[in-house]
Amino acid sequence: MPKQIKKVAITGGTHGNELTGVYLINKFKKNPTLVKRDSFETIFMHTNVGAMHQCTRYVDKDLNRAFIKNDLCNSEKYTYEDILAKNINEKLGPKGAIKTNVDFIVDLHSTTSDMGLSLVIDNDNNLTWQVAAYLKEMVPNLHVFRWRGDTKEVSFVNSITKEGFAIEVGPIPQGVLRADLFFETEKLIGHILDFFEKLNTSKLEKRYKNIEIFDHIKLVDFPRGEDGELNATVHPNLQDNGYYKLSKGDPLFITLDGEIINYEEDEKMYALFINEAAYYEKGFAMCLTKKENIKL
């Protein structure tokens, strides 16, 4: 673990219709004392102002998949989000540098699926996991999801720095500000900043040795016809039921004629990001995970 954290970035509005992050950044910018800690600096950034103004996920393409190292220095990439990604990378990164301009990025998201309060972690760096374990102790209902859905390179905003993660909270419809999860997310951010303050002032009481996580196994798409249209949707058992435990034979989807399609894997898995609105276009209805206790 590094001895000192000097600069943390809290980013929001990466998806312009996810208002929890948008309004938390507004609040912190107006009341910086709420998040002030003496031993390091925290900066707040709305990452996709164009999408925020439209209240859409993005303008041209998903900003949270735009941070591929080669693309960031490719002058032929010039969509709205490509240019944003280059600017953000310059301010916070650059990605892959030994010394980035900020040490840790927390990117704020919300989801239409019932994820409660979740961390989405895509790196193996120890500091990231120590923060996660600390948060899990402070906020017992927090879920930790390890994302392994990228075959080559993680291209999330928080992948600019080696250490960091995204926060996903839900269920929240797109374009809606929901009070309970707004305040829970604010509290969670407070704990993150407290962790760094304790780290910097040698007040952390322990080094965490393990953590319970939901480990990414695979993405599952809706049953679709040849035209790509949905033939079925998520079975009501899973709807609004995040981290649903699936056993062989459990209903998974229901066709529009009412026929049930079952889960056929031998292994028990937990479903999350169930029926997330933004993932229809990406081609998945849920993510299947295994619950594991991993060593840190």
Considering the complex, state which of residue 86 and residue 109 has its C-beta at the smaller distance from Zn ion: 109
Minimum CB distance to Zn ion, residue 145 (Å): 13
Minimum CB distance to Zn ion, residue 202 (Å): 35
Minimum CB distance to Zn ion, residue 276 (Å): 9
DSSP state of 45: E
Minimum CB distance to Zn ion, residue 57 (Å): 7
Considering the complex, state which of residue 5 and residue 169 has its C-beta at the smaller distance from Zn ion: 169
**Position of minimal CB gap to Zn ion:** 109
Which string of DSSP letters, residue by residue, matches 52-105? HHHTSS-SSS-GGG---HHHHT-TT--SHHHHHHHHHHHHH--TT-SS-SSSEE
CA torsion through residues 234, 143, 32, 58, sign: negative
Considering the complex, state which of residue 16 and residue 93 has its C-beta at the smaller distance from Zn ion: 16
- Contacts with Zn ion, residue ranges (CB under 5 A): 15, 18, 109
Distance between CA atoms of residues 194 and 191, nearest Å:
5
Considering the complex, state which of residue 109 and residue 136 has its C-beta at the smaller distance from Zn ion: 109
Distance between CA atoms of residues 44 and 42, nearest Å:
7
Which string of DSSP letters, residue by residue, matches 171-201? S--TT---HHHHHHHHHHHHHHHHHHHHHHT
- Tokens (6 digits) for 130: 């120590």
Considering the complex, state which of residue 62 and residue 163 has its C-beta at the smaller distance from Zn ion: 62
Minimum CB distance to Zn ion, residue 38 (Å): 31
